[in-house]
Structure 1
Amino acid sequence: MTGLRIELRRSTALWAGLLVLVSGAGMLVLVTSANARWKGNSTSAVLELRLPLAYVWALVVGLAVFQGMRDSRAGVTELFSATSRPGWVRLGTLASAVAAVVAAATALLCAGVVAVVAFGGGFVSVGFLPLMVTVVIALASSVLLGLAVGRLLPHPLTVPVALVATFMVATAAGRALDGRTADDEVSRLALLVPVLDPPSSDLVTTSTSVDIGQIVWFTGLGVTAFLLLVARSWSGRLAALVPAGLAVALALSIMPSKLSGVLVTDSLAGELVCDGRVCVSRAHEDRLPVVAAVGREVLAALAVLPGPPTEVREDTSAMAYLTAPQRSRDVVYVRSQGYPRVLTMPPAQLRLELLAGAGVADCSTPNTIDVQEAVVRYLTAGYFNGGLAELASEPYVWTNTRSRSEVEAAWQALRSQSPQEQLRRVAQVREMLLECQDSSRALDVLRAA
């Protein structure tokens, strides 16, 4: 314990821990907005740390490499090798001090963001623990690797090269995992890096296979790094590579190959909580009273349709922020993921959103624009609302003069028909939306004279 206390005072251990806390918290503040989604769910909060980890990881590795060069800088390498005390004891004490402080600082950083969620009234569950364990092991093993690299390659350029290389690897891995659709192939090698661009959803977490694979890999890397640090012969250094080799082989066999296998619905936050026939996720349970009241109004309004929906339910699917929304003849889905945030809308706006499409979501993927589909949503919402009104999800159509004129002209054509004909056309469009047929055909059905 005396040696450990000495290393805590004389090594960069405490500075490394402080670096993790300050840089991690600082980058999290810089890269996220004040109303970021992660503040609503503890799992999302820890997952959000994967983005600033690209910077923190590089800084910690660079500092560890610098620390690993201590004996060489002081010119005492030969002196310590001639002492009777085993080298692995002294080096093990140094490694334990630095890695333990970094691990503790990382755990404290994760606990800090969870505390922000808890004090902000967000949803807190044990779902963040696998993510936290992964990050802690990743940084601790990276520290050990940095110490080993610094000891084996005591050159003035080693520190900057290690820092830049680590940052470049983190950046490249983050880009390799930036999928646009659920079926996008992802690089398993990129999953060996603890960096991930968090999804724009607070109902998503990494899959069990990703968590286990990363824990296995970083544990094996840590063992190899420690053995490299204390090895004195080339044969010992070659043997030290075995744990990392076995770990990477096992991890790659576990890792998924598609984005849909990397990110899954948070089973705890995404659990449905219901008030009668209206359900929202447990993470958004505070909005249930408002959604339940609006949902009952929507179901009553849609009851005039043949085969009307009977439930209102939040769409908690993991890929809802990337793929076209779910659709069902019996369920009106609430799109809580992506933008705009439907669940935070005032009741009047939420009612219009659920009535649009006669209770059926549009067929476009998020972040795409289909003007004709938007016009269809305006007309169907207006039919059940008794008049046109702005949809918060389609503001450009309402504010654009040309699109607004198109909506009003189509509205007049629809309202010129008999009540029975209007209902027939809206019901037909609902069927077309359920099958995701051409939006231009749906618009023609509504506005045909």
Structure 2
Amino acid sequence: MSGLRIELRRSTALWAGLLVLVSGTGMLLLVMTSSVRWSGNSTSVVLAFRLPLAYVWALVVGLAVFQGMRDSRARVTELFATTSRPGWVRLGTLSAAVAGVVAVATAALCAGLVAKVALGGGFVSIGFVPLMITVVLALASSVLVGLAIGRLLPHPLTVPVALVATFMLATTAGRALEVRSPGDEISRLALLAPVLDAPSSDLITTSTSVDLGQIAWFTGLGVTAFLLLVARSHLGRLAALVPAGLALALALSIMPVKYSDVLVPDSIASELVCDGEVCVSRAHQDRLPVVAAAGRAALAKLAVLPDAPREVREDTSAMAHLVAPQRDQRIVYVPSDGFPRPVTMSEDELRLELLAGAGVAGCSGPNTSNTYETVVRYVTAGYFNGELAGLASDIFMWNNGRMRGEIDQAWQQFRGRSAQEQLNSVAQARRMLLTCEDSERVLDVLKGTR
């Protein structure tokens, strides 16, 4: 223990821990605002730490490489080699000090994020634990890798090269995970880096296969790095590569191939909690009274349609940010993402959102703009509401003079038809939106020009 205390004082261990806390907190403050959608769930907020981890990871590796060059800088490598004390004991103490402090600092940072969610009235569950373990192992093993690199390659350029290489590896891995559809295949090697983009909602987490694969990989990497650090012969260094090789093979056999298997619904946070025919996720249970009131009012209005929907349910799918919203004849879905999020709307705003499209979302994918679909949403919502009103999710079009004119014109054409024609056209529009068949012609159906 005395050796550990000495290393804590004389090595960069405490500085490394401070670096994790300061840089991690600083980067999180840059990406976290009061409006971020994933700050209400302990699991998703720890997952969001994976984005700034690219910078923290690089800084930690660079500092560890600098520490690993200590003996070479002090020119005492040969001196320590002649002492009776085994080299692995001294180097093991150094590794325990630096890696241990970094691990504690990382765990403390994750715990602080969870505490922030709890103090803010958010949803807290044990779902964040695997994510925290993965991050702790990633940074701790990276410290050991840095120490080994610094000891084996004591050159003035080693530190900047290691820092830049780590950052480039992180950014390259992040870009390799950018996809356009859930079925896209990804490189399993990209999942060997602990970097991921921030989740699109607070109901998403990484799959068990990703967690287990990363834990296995970083554990094996840490063992190999320590063995390389203490090895004195070329044969010993070659043998040290075995744990990392085995861990790599195991991790790649576990890792998923499709992106839809990387991010999955948080089984705890996305569990549905119901009030009669209206259900929301457990993470948003505090909004259930408002959603239930708006949902029942919307269902009562939609009851005039043939085969009217019977339920209102929050959409908890993990791939909602990549595909068109879910649709079901029996269910009116409440999106879990979007700005503002529907579950945070007032009762009147949410009721109007549920009535838009006659209880069916548009057929366009997320992050796309379709003027015709937006006009359809306004006209159908106005039919059930009795008059046009601004939709909180499409307020830009409502406040834009030219686009507002298109809404008003379509509304006047729709209202110029008989009551039965209006009902029939809304029912037909709903059927077309349910199947996304000829969805571009839905507006013509409402206006009676088809």
Question: Is the CA contact 1:312–1:334 (under 8 Å) kept in the aligned structure 2?
Answer: yes
CA shift, 1:156, in A, is: 0.6
Give ranges in structure 2 of 5+ residues lacking alignment: none
In structure 2, the residue matched to 1:249 is: 249
In structure 2, the residue matched to 1:140 is: 140
For residues 117 and 80 of structure 2, what CA distance do their matches in structure 1 show?
Answer: 49
For residues 109 and 251 of structure 2, what CA distance do their matches in structure 1 show?
Answer: 26
Q: How big is each residue's C-alpha offset from its partner over 1:406-431, in whole Å with a ceiling of 9 and x where there is no partner?
A: 22222112112221111111001100
SS of the counterpart of 1:313?
A: strand
In structure 1, the residue matched to 2:44 is: 44
Q: How big is each residue's C-alpha offset from its partner over 1:377-434, in whole Å with a ceiling of 9 and x where there is no partner?
A: 1111000000111112222332333322222222112112221111111001100000
* 1:437 and 2:441 correspond: no
In structure 2, the residue matched to 1:175 is: 175
The correspondence of residues 90-129 of structure 1 with structure 2, limited to 5 A, is 90-129=90-129
Question: Is the CA contact 1:179–1:259 (under 8 Å) kept in the aligned structure 2?
Answer: yes
The correspondence of residues 37-436 of structure 1 with structure 2, limited to 5 A, is 37-436=37-436
Q: How big is each residue's C-alpha offset from its partner over 1:99-124, in whole Å with a ceiling of 9 and x where there is no partner?
A: 11110110000000000000000000
Q: How big is each residue's C-alpha offset from its partner over 1:216-262, in whole Å with a ceiling of 9 and x where there is no partner?
A: 00000000000000000000000100110111111111111121111
For residues 41 and 221 of structure 2, what CA distance do their matches in structure 1 show?
Answer: 31
SS of the counterpart of 2:38?
A: helix
CA shift, 1:26, in A, is: 0.8
Q: How big is each residue's C-alpha offset from its partner over 1:300-352, in whole Å with a ceiling of 9 and x where there is no partner?
A: 00000111100000000111122110000000000121333111112211111
Q: Which amino acid aligns with 1:324?
A: A
For residues 298 and 448 of structure 1, what CA distance do their matches in structure 2 show?
Answer: 25
SS of the counterpart of 1:156?
A: coil
For residues 322 and 408 of structure 1, what CA distance do their matches in structure 2 show?
Answer: 31
TM-score for both structures, normalised by structure 2: 0.98
For residues 157 and 226 of structure 2, what CA distance do their matches in structure 1 show?
Answer: 22
Question: Is the CA contact 2:47–2:199 (under 8 Å) kept in the aligned structure 1?
Answer: no
In structure 2, the residue matched to 1:11 is: 11
Q: Which amino acid aligns with 2:399?
A: T
**How many residues align structurally?**
449
CA shift, 1:35, in A, is: 2.2
For residues 101 and 37 of structure 1, what CA distance do their matches in structure 2 show?
Answer: 31
For residues 395 and 305 of structure 1, what CA distance do their matches in structure 2 show?
Answer: 27
For residues 264 and 376 of structure 1, what CA distance do their matches in structure 2 show?
Answer: 32
Q: Over aligned residue pairs, what C-alpha RMSD do you find?
A: 1.0
For residues 405 and 119 of structure 1, what CA distance do their matches in structure 2 show?
Answer: 46
For residues 184 and 340 of structure 1, what CA distance do their matches in structure 2 show?
Answer: 28
CA shift, 1:31, in A, is: 2.0
For residues 280 and 133 of structure 1, what CA distance do their matches in structure 2 show?
Answer: 29
CA shift, 1:263, in A, is: 0.2
Q: Which amino acid aligns with 2:366?
A: P
TM-score for both structures, normalised by structure 1: 0.98
Moved more, 409-418 or 7-16: 409-418
Moved more, 425-434 or 404-413: 404-413
For residues 12 and 402 of structure 1, what CA distance do their matches in structure 2 show?
Answer: 62
For residues 59 and 369 of structure 2, what CA distance do their matches in structure 1 show?
Answer: 41
For residues 38 and 394 of structure 1, what CA distance do their matches in structure 2 show?
Answer: 22
Q: How big is each residue's C-alpha offset from its partner over 1:138-190, in whole Å with a ceiling of 9 and x where there is no partner?
A: 00000000000000000111011101110111111111112232122221111
SS of the counterpart of 1:269?
A: coil
Q: Which amino acid aligns with 2:141?
A: S
SS of the counterpart of 2:205?
A: strand
Q: Which amino acid aligns with 1:148?
A: A
For residues 120 and 181 of structure 2, what CA distance do their matches in structure 1 show?
Answer: 32
For residues 141 and 71 of structure 2, what CA distance do their matches in structure 1 show?
Answer: 21
SS of the counterpart of 1:37?
A: coil
For residues 77 and 43 of structure 1, what CA distance do their matches in structure 2 show?
Answer: 45
Give ranges in structure 1 of 5+ residues lacking alignment: none
For residues 397 and 21 of structure 1, what CA distance do their matches in structure 2 show?
Answer: 43
For residues 195 and 188 of structure 2, what CA distance do their matches in structure 1 show?
Answer: 13
Question: Is the CA contact 1:28–1:52 (under 8 Å) kept in the aligned structure 2?
Answer: yes
